[in-house]
Structure 1
Amino acid sequence: MAAGKTSSSELHFLVSTGVEKPNPELRRFIRSHVMLGKNLGRALPPRTTRRRRRKENVTPSSTGDVEGLDKDQLEPLPSLNSLSRTHRVLPIPEVPRKFGSNMSSIRFTETIDPEVVEVVLQFSSIAKQVLFPLESCILFERRAEAWIAPLTIDPAFLHTMIFTSQYYFDAVLPQRPSSEMSQRSLPHYTKTLKLLHERFSETGDEQARLSFTTVAAVMGLTGYAHLMGDTRSARHHLKGLHKIVTLRGGISTLRGSAKLLVEILRCDIGMALHGGTEPIFFHEASEPFVAYPDLTPFLELQRGSSSSDSFCNRVVPFEDMNDALARAWSAMSEFCTLINFAAESKQYVTTDIFLDTMASVIYRLLDMRFGVCSTDEAICAGLLAFSCSIFLQWRQLGSSYPNLATTLKACLLKLSYSQQASARQQLWILMAGRVSVFGADDDAWLRPLLLVNMGCCEITSWSEMQELLQSFMWIRMVHEKPGKAVFDSAMACLNPNPEQDSNTRGEMKMGTSFGAERSL
């Protein structure tokens, strides 16, 4: 690159012949030539004047010192009012309101207001915690795929989910159970019945009759009728549900939908325990009981745990127990050990383990027959009550197990006089029943028995009670809070208030003295 030197009145040419950069002299020449064009027409002050002006106009921000400046030299900052006069102040933008509902972009096969469907999503977000006492330890796979996605496909399933979810928010959550349906639920309930009636008619779709969503819809009707106290309709729906499952090929065909199968069997078990009736499923010889799950591989992991709280007594703590009853006890004890370990180690058990343990244990217990108020019947009833607190959801939904509670009460009263069971054994059955099927109304007869056996076992603290309960069977994450409340309430009666009724004090005193005469 080279430049031809000419006089100032002549043109200058730059010739580039390579990729090398121009030398410093040429760069100065280019820069000066450019500035000539930029300053064309300007009247520039002399260089000496510009240097002096730069020195005088040094600002405080550049030196960090304002002490040497006069106040007149410091210009005040413009006020907000002056800014508003010279500049337009823009308003703070507001977040636009939501347009439509969360379901407005989803298309349903039935013409329905999307906002109505939102109640299903609201209940679905809390259903696991409400319906499963062991929810933090159970892994439910593909819940959204199995229960939310079909809402857009089957209108009968959609309306079932709406009225059952609405019932929870209308009656269960505010604790206002009623035999009448709310106006928000009634249209969806009647629509469900109409759609299912058409489906099961002669012209109905054969494949739709046996579909997953049809089974779920009928199950919803069954559970709803049971909660409403309509036992006849509930049992009618349950028999229809059993027929559908049979036509599908039996329980095994629902293994791919373990969550649905769990709900079906829990509905059947809850109704049987509530009314003292025979269960519908696994009642015929053609339906063998579910095999006990093999939990040995999982229990091997638990053996390395440093915590002893997860252990339950895998040795049956009752002498001369019926063999079938002892096998059911062992299966439940292993499951409790696994759940305690899962809770402590922040792990999960599969829905299949939950399902197999529940079905294999409870249906066998319901099928067992023992002498009235015998020790085996007391153990069986106590184990059933304990299982209710783990597997079933009906108490959380406002229902109860009056028939089971009546049977267990009769057995406990008989044991307290016959002394066929030790005080430790009776204490576990009492606590298992109180946290599962008995209520506050039962404390009048249950609390004296509890104090008598606590006195025999010399239990004076909750930690001592915990140790005893865990030597039998106990799940801390489920039973800790209600169990401690029962214990504290009983201990408070040993130091009654002055205002307490004298009859109650006399009853407690008599119960304690009676307990002192008994042996372990």
Structure 2
Amino acid sequence: MAKSKYAAGLQFIPITPAQGQDKHTRKAIQSHATRAGARRRPLIELRPWINPHRELEPLEKAISEDTRTSKPDSSIPSPRLVGADFSGMQLPPGIEPYMIQDLVKLIDLNRHGVYPYEICLDVHPTAKGWFPYLISDVCCLHSMMFSVRAFLERTAHNQPSPLAAFHYAQTLHLLQARLNESDPTSAISDATMMVVISLATAAELTNDFATVAKHFQGLEKMVSLRGGVRALNTENNIQVKVCRADLEYALLLGHRPRLLQEGISWDCFIADRGRVRCSHPPHDANLHAFAETAIDVKLHNALQDLHAFSCISNLAYQTTRKLSPEVYNEMMISILYRLTNLSFGRNHLAEAIRIGLLAFSSTIFIERHFMGQPSQHLLNLYTDALFKLRNSTNVDLPIPMVLWLTMFSHLVVHTELSAADWRSVWLDEAVLRGKINTWPQACEILRSVAWVDFVHSRSGKPIFEVAMSRLERTASSDV
């Protein structure tokens, strides 16, 4: 009888095309969670990164079975829908139920961009989404209707349509009246914050970055008047929405986040919990030895968390084990706030790794799947940091790190670089130096740093194949 290649214990098992999924492998994947639970190990407590005095669910419960494919208990057919989903809602003048349908579709599209279904359970409570604001606050409703028009019309018109202009005018009128009230409660309410976030998003869609900055300055003031990020409501997810906006606009506009600049934890959030047990021999040993001696411990901790997240994501994609949205948010916020608040100046190695990890994180946490590549500012920073590292004479990078940095420099630009480009030359050197002959072999090395297969391999494989073609042509010409 063939022996399973997986050891006992809860492990994250990456499967590559080279390995294949034989019956023993499939059995190991399907039963690993059951084996871990049977040992009755103590549950590992998770505390929010922003509010460590609260508690999250234990890590084992945070990685839960996805039951979306289960059959309904009842076979009784549902009544046929008459009209739109919101036909019975009392709407303000100028808004019809069919318009709300478009908005709900966009919210659903954005939700799957924020919480990719390959990683997260689709069980985020309605109370934590946009819906409560949509049905309870007219100003928020108009602002969101303006955002949906801006999204739908962003490639069709240079100027907003009359409908978009109507919603924008209504939003500004209601918002200004709210800000002029003697009672500041409504001016800094959760709903008002959502209005400002929605307006900033609409400005981003039209590349009006000056307006984005202006809106976020207003949001920052509101958060300050509420007592800071840690004082925001966590039950309706406004704290997460504000932090995500802060991080998005920091990366978009090229500055540090304006919130949570003090009192943050630099420790690992999940990598040191003792449950993320992945193995990438022989690459991980050399990489860890390099990281522990060559880069700052704060940066190393962020790298370890991103590596752990990648392993969890690959496991979630292969199995029904999914992250809860709450833990996904905490990992996103803890990693990105640490990376954006670090800076290493003339330490070209650490700065290139930091910005590389930011670019990687943006493809997972920030980049909406329907909006294209990361911000141009971040791409420019990454290219500049890699160029300085390339021209440093005292840096000796291990194969996993140099392959990861150069592969990602190609992946995030979304355009094919020429063979003469220094980034192509550097990638070819890494492949040749590492004696890498196949894409599965390259994936194993990339996973030892951080690599989410379902996100990065579709773009990464053609990049690697082009590099192999260049090397083969060079070898043929030398004969």
Output the TM-score relative to the length of structure 1.
Answer: 0.67
Q: 2:303 corresponds to which letter in structure 1?
A: W
Question: What is the match of residue 162 of structure 1?
Answer: 145
Q: CA offset at residue 473 of structure 1?
A: 1.5
Alignment of 1:126-137 (within 5 A): 126-133=109-116, 136-137=119-120
Question: What is the match of residue 202 of structure 2?
Answer: 224
C-alpha distance in 2 between matches for 1:273 and 1:440:
21
C-alpha distance in 2 between matches for 1:164 and 1:191:
13
Residues 1:406 and 2:389 aligned together: no
C-alpha distance in 2 between matches for 1:323 and 1:293:
10
Q: Deviations over 1:228-263 (max 9, x none)?
A: 222221111111111212222222233525744333
Which of 447, 453, 460 is residue 424 of structure 2 equivalent to? 447
Does the 8 A contact of 2:267 with 2:301 survive in 1? Answer: no
Equivalences, count: 392
C-alpha distance in 2 between matches for 1:179 and 1:372:
42
Does the 8 A contact of 1:159 with 1:192 survive in 2? Answer: yes
C-alpha distance in 2 between matches for 1:297 and 1:347:
20
Q: Deviations over 1:55-94 (max 9, x none)?
A: xxxxxxxxxxxxxxxxxxxxxxxxxxxxxxxxxxxxxxxx
- C-alpha change, 1:325 and 1:221, in structure 2 (3 Å) is same
Alignment of 1:200-219 (within 5 A): 200-203=179-182, 206-219=184-197
Question: What is the match of residue 489 of structure 1?
Answer: 466
Q: Deviations over 1:199-243 (max 9, x none)?
A: 10134x533223222111111111221232222211111111112
Computing the radius of gyration from Cα coordinates, the structure with the larger value is: 1
Which of 173, 176, 179 is residue 197 of structure 1 equivalent to? 176
Give secondary structure in 1 for the equivalent of 2:402: helix
Alignment of 1:329-368 (within 5 A): 329-368=303-342
Residues 1:142 and 2:119 aligned together: no
- C-alpha change, 1:255 and 1:206, in structure 2 (3 Å) is closer
- C-alpha change, 1:187 and 1:403, in structure 2 (3 Å) is same
Q: CA offset at residue 392 of structure 1?
A: 0.4
Q: CA offset at residue 391 of structure 1?
A: 0.9
Question: What is the match of residue 438 of structure 1?
Answer: 413
Q: Deviations over 1:451-499 (max 9, x none)?
A: 2221111112101111110121112222221221322333344567xxx
Residues 1:125 and 2:125 aligned together: no
- C-alpha change, 1:317 and 1:433, in structure 2 (3 Å) is farther
Q: 1:422 corresponds to which letter in structure 2?
A: L
C-alpha distance in 2 between matches for 1:214 and 1:198:
12
C-alpha distance in 2 between matches for 1:281 and 1:292:
19
Alignment of 1:271-310 (within 5 A): 271-283=249-261, 287-289=262-264, 292=267, 294-295=269-270, 300=275, 302-303=276-277
- C-alpha change, 1:375 and 1:99, in structure 2 (3 Å) is closer
Q: 1:242 corresponds to which letter in structure 2?
A: E
- C-alpha change, 1:254 and 1:453, in structure 2 (3 Å) is same
Give secondary structure in 1 for the equivalent of 2:437: coil
Which of 325, 331, 341 is residue 299 of structure 2 equivalent to? 325
Does the 8 A contact of 2:203 with 2:212 survive in 1? Answer: yes
Question: What is the match of residue 234 of structure 1?
Answer: 212
C-alpha distance in 2 between matches for 1:155 and 1:390:
33
Q: 2:452 corresponds to which letter in structure 1?
A: I
Tell me which moved more, 389-398 or 477-486.
Answer: 389-398
C-alpha distance in 2 between matches for 1:363 and 1:488:
35
- C-alpha change, 1:467 and 1:328, in structure 2 (3 Å) is same
Residues 1:479 and 2:456 aligned together: yes
- C-alpha change, 1:123 and 1:349, in structure 2 (3 Å) is same
Listed as ranges, the gaps of 5+ residues in structure 1 are 1-96, 497-507, 514-520
Q: 2:407 corresponds to which letter in structure 1?
A: M
Which of 166, 175, 196 is residue 187 of structure 1 equivalent to? 166
Question: What is the match of residue 28 of structure 1?
Answer: none
C-alpha distance in 2 between matches for 1:179 and 1:395:
23
- C-alpha change, 1:130 and 1:331, in structure 2 (3 Å) is closer
C-alpha distance in 2 between matches for 1:357 and 1:292:
12
Which of 392, 396, 400 is residue 421 of structure 1 equivalent to? 396
Does the 8 A contact of 1:336 with 1:473 survive in 2? Answer: yes
Q: CA offset at residue 317 of structure 1?
A: 4.5
Give secondary structure in 2 for the equivalent of 1:332: helix
Does the 8 A contact of 2:188 with 2:226 survive in 1? Answer: yes
Q: 2:228 corresponds to which letter in structure 1?
A: G
Q: 1:220 corresponds to which letter in structure 2?
A: S
Q: Deviations over 1:356-405 (max 9, x none)?
A: 22222222222222233611111111111111111102574246422322
Which of 67, 90, 102 is residue 85 of structure 2 equivalent to? 102
C-alpha distance in 1 between matches for 2:346 and 2:236:
36
Q: CA offset at residue 353 of structure 1?
A: 2.3
Does the 8 A contact of 2:359 with 2:374 survive in 1? Answer: no
Give secondary structure in 1 for the equivalent of 2:243: helix
Q: 1:190 corresponds to which letter in structure 2?
A: A
Q: CA offset at residue 158 of structure 1?
A: 0.8
C-alpha distance in 2 between matches for 1:247 and 1:129:
32
Output the TM-score relative to the length of structure 2.
Answer: 0.72
Q: CA RMSD in A?
A: 3.3
C-alpha distance in 2 between matches for 1:217 and 1:166:
15
Question: What is the match of residue 222 of structure 2?
Answer: 244
Question: What is the match of residue 99 of structure 2?
Answer: 116
Does the 8 A contact of 2:114 with 2:365 survive in 1? Answer: no
- C-alpha change, 1:178 and 1:369, in structure 2 (3 Å) is farther
Q: 2:225 corresponds to which letter in structure 1?
A: L
Q: 1:367 corresponds to which letter in structure 2?
A: N
Q: CA offset at residue 325 of structure 1?
A: 1.4
Greater relative contact order (Cα < 8 A, sep 6+): 2
Question: What is the match of residue 21 of structure 2?
Answer: none
Give secondary structure in 2 for the equivalent of 1:348: strand
Does the 8 A contact of 1:162 with 1:188 survive in 2? Answer: yes
